[in-house]
Amino acid sequence: MTFQILVSDPVNQEGLEPLLSNEEVNVDQKTNLSEEELHELIPHYDALIVRSQTTVTASLIEAATQLKVIGRAGVGVDNIDLDAATENGVIVVNAPDGNTMSTAEHTFAMMMSLARHIPQAYQSLMNGKWDRKSFKGVELNKKTLGIVGMGRIGTEVAQRAKACNMSIVAYDPFLTEERALKLGIVKGTMDDIYEQADFITVHTPLTKDTRHMIDEQAFAKMKNGVRILNCARGGIIEENALLQAIEDGKVAGAALDVFEEEPATHHPLLSKPEVIATPHLGASTEEAQTLVAYDVSEEILRILKGEPFKNAVNMPSISSEVREVLEPYYYLGEKLGEMAIQLVLEAPTKVTITYAGELTDYDTSSLTRNVMKGLLSYHLGDKVNVVNTFHMAKSYNLSYSVEYSGSARDFTNLITVSIETKNGTRTISGTMLTGYGPRIIKIDDYSIDIAPDTHLLYIQHRDTPGMIGLVGTTLGKHDINIATMQVGRKEEGGDAIMMLAIDRPTDQNAFHDLGLIENITSVKDIHL
């Protein structure tokens, strides 16, 4: 059997070599097709490869009666209707790792240019000036580099920094002491980075927690003369705060490859001589463009041949019977994962997912993917999906296991997620209640009953009279409305927990006042 593959956008030819040299496939490269022409051709193809020009709509996917896989030779898949692809059983793959080296090298080039004022000195020379005094730089040697995010790119940057005799302190929610030791770096907190680093570079996805994570308060904690780099995602650094920190002399320089809104040709940061910038060039190398095409080509071959694959970005196909049973639990599983990871303060070392009751009669692998997606995506954002979640867990050295129990106590079904860290284990359990939907019914050894709402407040305290009133009054003072409240305790007067569903996130002032209440030991916002 010969598989038919259509390449509808210009794609690096060397990267297509796995397909072009394979006798089992026939590759047609037809670019600049009109929407009508593409609809007419697509029913004859088993695979489609695009970059950013072709928009893969629901109607196109429905017309592609033979299509098994769509490959995006790049990272983003905004031009592909993922829901339609999933509904029609079409796997969508991308190439998330093809730009690792190019982005790491670009980051390091920017850091060296920032340290030695290379772009500014070049421009001065091009303007006819021979000015050696204005561009005195600093060495990387013996400086401390703070790395926020130790995925593939952050790890590659760390290796290059070590070659320049830099000390490295890094923060990543999945970075363990053991992995840090193996990499020859120091595992620290964000405050450690702010206090110690001469250079700070960010390599995290853009999520609700990383958006503007480096803000006015963060700059205030940094060393005077710190230098900042962002070759990851625009929005991680609050740009107005960065501008002010440069004007105040706190930040000696910034190197930016990304901006919150692009193109950013008239951004006020570009007027500052302390800033060097490039127009989102992190992945713009010949090698990266070859690699993304090559990775997608290999993934498509594996899928067409029925072999294991890793970089799919939509739901894998399962039988309609199993999906009908498990689908109500997908949301619950994902929220259990999201809540569980927010309960731990240290990097997780192992995750155990236990299914009990009637769920044990089914293949729960797709449900496990949703649990792990929720757990990982809280910190990694949309880098994680239900197909690549196991691969992402492995890349962060996070092991997981699945267990089954015949007893679900008083519930038809029960899902329990346990996360082990070096300091212990945290556990959360949930179920589906008829007429009520998904419910969280236990945290560690405390029984509760609450829906996994968007904004939750988790309070640990001693069980003393009047505690509920004090919490309610304090939140009311800050205009935070309580939707529901659940209290769990082991014994009268002992340790207890309070879980509240609130209408909006808790601000820092409310946090401060809650912390002043006697017998409250910790307060935690949980965002779902």
| 153 and 248 share one domain | yes
pLDDT tens, position by position, 201-213: 999 988 888 999 9
- List the one residue out of 92, 89, 39 whose CA is nearest residue 70: 92
Q: What is the mean pLDDT of the chain?
A: 93
**Same domain? 126 vs 264:** yes
Question: Does 364 share its domain with 397?
Answer: yes
Write out the residue range of the structural domain in which residue 146 sits: 99-277
Cα distances (Å, whole numbers) of residue 241 to 207, 227, 509: 19, 14, 21
Q: Looking at residues 175-196, what average pLDDT do you find?
A: 96
In this predicted structure, what is the pLDDT of residue 52? Answer: 82
- Residue 64 sits in the same domain as residue 115: no
Distance (Å) of CA 252 to CA 114, 140, 245, 272, 319: 9, 14, 9, 11, 58
The answer to whether residue 427 scores a pLDDT higher than 80 is yes
Pick the last residue of a domain from 394, 423, 452.
452
Of 398, 422, 452, at which residue does a domain stop?
452
Query: In the prediction, which pLDDT does 390 show?
Result: 87
Structural domain contains residue 311? no
Mark whether 181 and 323 lie in a shared domain. Answer: no
- Is pLDDT larger for residue 254 or for residue 434? 254
Least confident of 104-113, 146-155, 159-168, 446-455: 446-455
How confident is the model at residue 435, as a pLDDT? 82
* DSSP code per residue over 254-289: EEES--SSSS-TT-GGGG-TTEEE-SS-TT-SHHHH
140 with 112: CB under 8 angstroms?
A: yes
Q: Does residue 282 sit within a domain?
A: no
Whether 75 shows a pLDDT value over 80: the answer reads no
116 and 256 co-located in one domain: yes
Residues 184, 201, single domain; the answer is yes
CATH number at residue 37: 3.40.50.720
Q: Are residues 89 and 105 in the same domain?
A: no
pLDDT given for residue 391 in this prediction: 81
Instruction: Give the full edge-to-edge strand order of the sheet including 91-93.
Output: 25-29, 3-7, 47-50, 69-72, 91-93
Q: What is the domain-level CATH number for residue 330? A: 3.30.1330.90
Give the best-scoring range by mean pLDDT among 177-181, 206-210, 247-251, 502-506: 247-251
Residue 316 pLDDT greater than 80, yes or no: no
The pLDDT score that the predictor gives to residue 246 is: 98
Task: Let me know whether 323 and 448 are in one domain.
Answer: yes
Statement to judge: residues 340 and 198 lie in one domain: no
* Distance from C-alpha of 213 to C-alpha of 381, rounded to nearest angstrom: 14
pLDDT tens digits for range 91-124: 999 998 888 999 999 999 999 999 999 999 999 9
Could you give the number of structural domains in the chain? 4
Integer angstrom CA distances of residue 468 from 104, 329, 400, 454: 51, 32, 37, 21
Summarize pLDDT for 81-93 with one digit per residue, the tens: 988 888 788 999 9
Tens-place pLDDT, residues 28-53: 999 999 999 999 999 999 999 998 88
* 323 falls within a domain: yes
8 A C-beta contact, residue 146 and residue 199 = yes
Is residue 310 one of the residues assigned to a domain?
no
117 and 255 co-located in one domain:
yes
pLDDT for the residue numbered 195: 98
Predicted confidence at residue 154, as pLDDT, reads: 96
- The reply to whether 364 falls in a domain is yes
pLDDT computed for residue 193 by the predictor:
98
pLDDT on residue 317: 61
User: Worst-scoring range by mean pLDDT, 9-13, 315-319, 410-414?
Assistant: 315-319
Q: Which CATH number is 481's domain given? A: 3.30.70.260
Q: Are residues 157 and 216 in the same domain?
A: yes
Which residues are marked as active site? Answer: 233, 262, 280
Among 452, 479, 497, the domain-final residue is 452
